[in-house]
Amino acid sequence: QVQLVESGGGLVQAGGSLTLSCAASGRALDSYAVGWFRQAPGKEREFVAAISRSGVYTYYADSVKGRFTIFRDNANNTNSLRMNTLKPEDTAVYYCAARGPNSGGGSRRMDEYDYWGQGTQVTVSS
C-alpha cells in the first residue's frame, strides 16, 4: 500500500498563495489517481481537486476553479496543489488521497479513495 504525508500548510493573508505537497512512500504515486479534499470546522469534508493516474485529466470544485492547480511531480513521487488568490473561506484542513491501483480515473467522491494522508492546516486571514 501507499502512505501519504501532506506538507506546506500555514497561515496566509487573504490574496496570498500557498503550495501543498503530498509525498508518497511505499509505492509510486504515479500508479494512482490522486485527489485533494478539505474540511473546515463544523463542516463536511468537501472535494477540491483531482488528477487522473495518467495526469491527462484534472477536476476542480467550482469554488476553487481558476485559483487552484493540481499537478504531479513524478520524479519526486509527490502530488501538489498550488493555491492562488486565497480567501478566508479556504481555511480548512487539507487532505490528499489516492485511489486503488486499478482505478485510474480522477474522482470527486470521497468513498472512491482508499488511502488518505493526515492533513495539513491552511489558515487564511482577512
Q: What is the percent of the chain where pLDDT is above 90?
A: 96
Which pLDDT does position 67 carry in this prediction? 98
Which pLDDT does position 74 carry in this prediction? 87
Tens digit of each residue's pLDDT (9 = 90 or more) over 34-44: 999 999 999 99
Tens digit of each residue's pLDDT (9 = 90 or more) over 52-75: 999 999 999 999 999 999 999 989
Identify each DSSP E strand in the chain by its residue range. 3-7, 10-13, 18-25, 34-39, 46-51, 58-60, 68-73, 78-83, 92-98, 115-116, 120-125
